[in-house]
């Protein structure tokens, strides 16, 4: 259900009663790879936004909060659909890029555990490839605060499919071996956290498969933008990226590769 929109997301800072939560050091690495992130991360196809909008009952003009927006890959797709979006992003380099694309009036400095919006402001909250970085129970409390009654949450997870490329299996293995073991990655799934929190409807998940351009340099920018690759010691990181470049540039890369987008959905009960 979409409710009438009162213009404005509340311009004054909000004094939350929640404690301030620091960003995890790995999440802090994203600022230094903003250029690679923008070049390498895939854009979201209209079908992805159309699917989440249909499930959450969002019509053009509905107010939406995009959390952990990065350089605005999802933000821009939401705006193109006609939604009235405000993006919240803690990294200044990411925010600067995003503000230059969509305008500074739509971009806020903030984190999921302390959302800089007033109560009952938006019809939906979206999070693309960022939910694992949050203090999830605390973030869900804040999401409930800013959502209007029956408002929805969409948690997107993007998985590129490299299997058709000659280097796909080996590069995938390199990525997983570089990833540290940490609760931010290996903790409970989003739907378990939502069920444990209570106050939300039973989560459901959709999958939308599209395609993305797959030239070697775009692939290399994608892996370079991964926080745990950026966090490697300088010498180790250079060796890792050199090996990835040799593998991808020397292999067979199709013009396009599949992209699987999982869309987790729930609404306030």
pLDDT tens readout for residues 172-221? 999 988 876 644 445 688 999 999 999 999 999 999 999 999 999 999 99
- Quick: pLDDT tens for 62-103: 999 999 999 999 999 999 999 999 999 999 999 999 999 999
- Packing angle between helix 234-249 and helix 216-224, nearest 10 degrees? 160
Half-sphere exposure of residue 184, counting CA atoms within 13 Å on the CB side? 14
pLDDT for position 133: 87
Written out in words, the top-level CATH class of the domain with range 27-160+181-211+260-267 is alpha beta
pLDDT for position 186: 55
| Predicted confidence band of residue 1 (pLDDT cuts 50, 70, 90) | very low
Residue 4 has pLDDT above 80, yes or no: no
| Predicted confidence band of residue 32 (pLDDT cuts 50, 70, 90) | low
Distances, alpha carbon 27 to alpha carbons 80, 102, 195, 206, 249, in Å: 27, 23, 25, 26, 28
- Quick: pLDDT tens for 132-171: 889 999 999 999 999 999 999 999 999 999 999 999 999 9
- Token match 């959302």: residue? 115
pLDDT for position 28: 47
Question: What tokens appear for 95 in the block?
Answer: 């925010």
Among the listed residues 84, 76, 130, the one whose alpha carbon sits nearest the alpha carbon of residue 100: 76
- Packing angle between helix 73-81 and helix 46-56, nearest 10 degrees? 70
d(CA 119, CA 102): 24
d(CA 129, CA 101): 20
Residue 239 has pLDDT above 90, yes or no: yes
Which range of 28-32, 34-38, 118-122 scores highest in mean pLDDT? It is 118-122
pLDDT for position 250: 97
Residue 30 has pLDDT above 90, yes or no: no
d(CA 90, CA 84): 20
Report residue 16: phi and psi, to 5°: -80, 150
- Sign of the Cα torsion 172, 175, 178, 182 reads negative
Query: What strands lie across the sheet with 256-267, from one edge to the other?
Result: 107-108, 84-88, 63-67, 122-128, 147-160, 256-267, 204-213
Contact yes or no for 158/129 (Cβ under 8 A): yes
pLDDT for position 13: 32
Question: What tokens appear for 168 in the block?
Answer: 């796909």
pLDDT for position 43: 94
| H-run or E-run covering 98 | helix 92-102
Residue 198's region, left for phi above 0, alpha for psi from -120 to 50, else beta, is left
pLDDT for position 231: 80
Question: What tokens appear for 116 in the block?
Answer: 């800089």
pLDDT for position 10: 35
The 10 Å Cβ neighbour count of residue 69 is 30
Average the pLDDT over 30-43 and give the result.
Answer: 83
d(CA 87, CA 84): 10
- Token match 């931010």: residue? 184
| From 31-35, 67-71, 102-106, the region with the lowest mean pLDDT | 31-35
Where along the chain do its domains lie?
27-160+181-211+260-267
| Predicted confidence band of residue 229 (pLDDT cuts 50, 70, 90) | confident
The 10 Å Cβ neighbour count of residue 61 is 13
Which range of 8-17, 37-46, 173-182 scores highest in mean pLDDT? It is 37-46
d(CA 128, CA 75): 9
- Quick: pLDDT tens for 242-269: 999 999 999 999 999 999 999 999 999 9
């Amino acid at each position: 259900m979409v409710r009438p929109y009162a213009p404005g997301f509340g311009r004054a800072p909000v004094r939350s009663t929640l404690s301030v939560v620091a960003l995890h050091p790995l999440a802090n690495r994203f600022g230094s790879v903003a250029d690679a992130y923008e070049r390498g991360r895939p854009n979201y196809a209209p079908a992805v936004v159309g699917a989440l909008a249909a499930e959450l009952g969002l019509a053009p003009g509905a107010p939406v909060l995009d959390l952990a927006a990065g350089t605005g890959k999802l933000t821009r797709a939401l705006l193109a659909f006609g939604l009235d979006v405000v993006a919240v992003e803690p990294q200044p380099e990411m925010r600067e890029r995003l503000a230059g694309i969509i305008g500074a009036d739509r971009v806020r400095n903030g984190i999921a555990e302390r959302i800089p919006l007033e109560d009952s402001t938006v019809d939906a909250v979206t999070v693309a490839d960022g939910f694992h970085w949050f203090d999830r129970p605390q973030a869900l409390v804040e999401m409930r605060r800013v959502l209007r009654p029956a408002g929805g949450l969409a948690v997107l997870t993007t998985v590129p499919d490299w299997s058709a490329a000659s280097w796909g299996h080996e590069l995938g293995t390199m990525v997983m071996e570089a990833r540290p073991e940490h609760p931010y990655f290996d903790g409970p799934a989003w739907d378990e956290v939502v069920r444990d929190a209570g106050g939300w409807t039973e989560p459901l998940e959709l999958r939308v498969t599209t395609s993305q351009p797959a030239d070697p340099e775009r692939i290399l920018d994608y892996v370079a933008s991964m926080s745990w690759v950026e966090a490697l010691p300088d010498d180790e990181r250079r060796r890792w990226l050199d090996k990835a470049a040799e593998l991808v540039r020397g292999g067979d890369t199709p013009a396009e590769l599949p992209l699987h987008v999982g869309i987790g959905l729930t609404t306030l009960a």
